Amino acid sequence: MPGWFEALAETTLDAGERAAIVVSRAGGAPKAALPVAIGPSGIRGLTAPYTTRYAPALPDVDSAYEMGRQMRGAAGGAVRLDAIDRSDPGMAAFLKGLGENFATASYQGFVNWSEPVADFAGYWARRPSRLRTTVRRKSAATAATFTYLRDGFGPALAHYEAIQRASWKGPEPHPAFLATMVQRLAPAVRMGLLEIEGRMVAAQIWLVHGGRATIFKLVHREDAAALSPGTLLTHRMIETCLREEGVSMLDFGRGDDTYKRDWMGVCTTRIGVIAADWRYGNGLRTLAADVLPTLAGRAWRRHFGPNRAGSVATPEGDALEGTRDQGRVAAAEAF
């Protein structure tokens, strides 16, 4: 959704960076678009610690491939991308094209837990017995008030921020992002609140779009941990979302926190890619400082030990078949 990238552009850019869109064109019409940040070190994907999947508008694999192949003129010698889903055919085609003119190295990024769902009863029956027991026992012992919001997020955001300050979590890396994102993506935002004995003790921000529900942000008060408010709120949010929103996929966002394994059954890894063109000064520095050490580390792990750091090969597959030259790439004006 464009609003997601707009929120990132407004609140997360580093000093000296500007947001732009790299566009692949064929016959004058845009065929694919890659939101990026352009700075002194080259081009990077327009992502932040909030990004769970970097999914630009790359619906046509031929155009995505051509965009990658033609990035040399727009990248200033270096390209850095992260939060890439290896199963995304558009990103796979883009990376194949990128590899024609750049030296590339890929690395393991972060873990994502998710699960396809059909209904709440089936989903809940698959959960570990200890989780179901905790929810049943704490629900019976606690008089909690649950609120599920589709709009009017101002007061709920204030509660979220107050709970975060009383939680185990540190401050946000980009404090203005959440409120800006909620404003930009309001139709896709859902918020949940849990109140116990007149006090707000847990809050969550979800994103629901295209049949997918992402548990984006969740907090609970540290001094209420004995009541398991986060567990109770997650249970009620999932139950409500599956019954009212018609989603077919639950997604727990970034991170391999142990508790997420109780809620989701499918574990995948997002990858990152560093690309350098030695014909540019910046590209030569990136090649020496990042690409070659990453490749060397992967080779060492392959031959001398288990792949604990998890470097992976650049994704390829059937989606890359039939790619051909078409169009050109241009950096569009900033957001």
Cα angle, residue 19 at apex, residues 314 and 26 outer, rounded to 5°: 65
Q: How far apart are CA 136 and CA 130, in angstroms?
A: 10
Question: If we measure between CA atoms, which residue out of 36, 34, 33 comes closest to residue 47?
Answer: 36
Position 154 scores a pLDDT of 96
* Tokens standing for residue 152: 């009017």
Position 316 scores a pLDDT of 38
Check whether 132 has a pLDDT greater than 90: yes
Position 241 scores a pLDDT of 96
Position 286 scores a pLDDT of 61
pLDDT in tens, 266-287: 999 999 998 888 766 565 566 6
pLDDT band, residue 318 (cuts 50/70/90): very low
Q: Strand 18-26: give its sheet, edge to edge.
A: 144-149, 189-196, 199-209, 212-220, 249-254, 103-116, 266-276, 78-84, 42-45, 29-39, 18-26, 328-331
Q: What is the dihedral of CA 272, 277, 280, 281, to 10 degrees?
A: 50
Mean pLDDT of 81-106: 90
Mean pLDDT of 152-165: 96
Classify 43 as helix, strand or coil.
strand
Alpha-carbon distances, residue 106 vs 70, 97, 138, 304 (angstroms): 19, 15, 44, 19
Q: What is the dihedral of CA 71, 74, 78, 81, to 10 degrees?
A: -70
Mean pLDDT of 202-211: 97
Pairing of strands 249-254, 212-220: parallel
Q: What is the dihedral of CA 21, 24, 29, 30, to 10 degrees?
A: -40
Position 27 scores a pLDDT of 65
Mean pLDDT of 40-51: 92
What are the backbone angles phi and psi of residue 202, rounded to the nearest 5°? -150, 150
Mean pLDDT of 249-256: 94
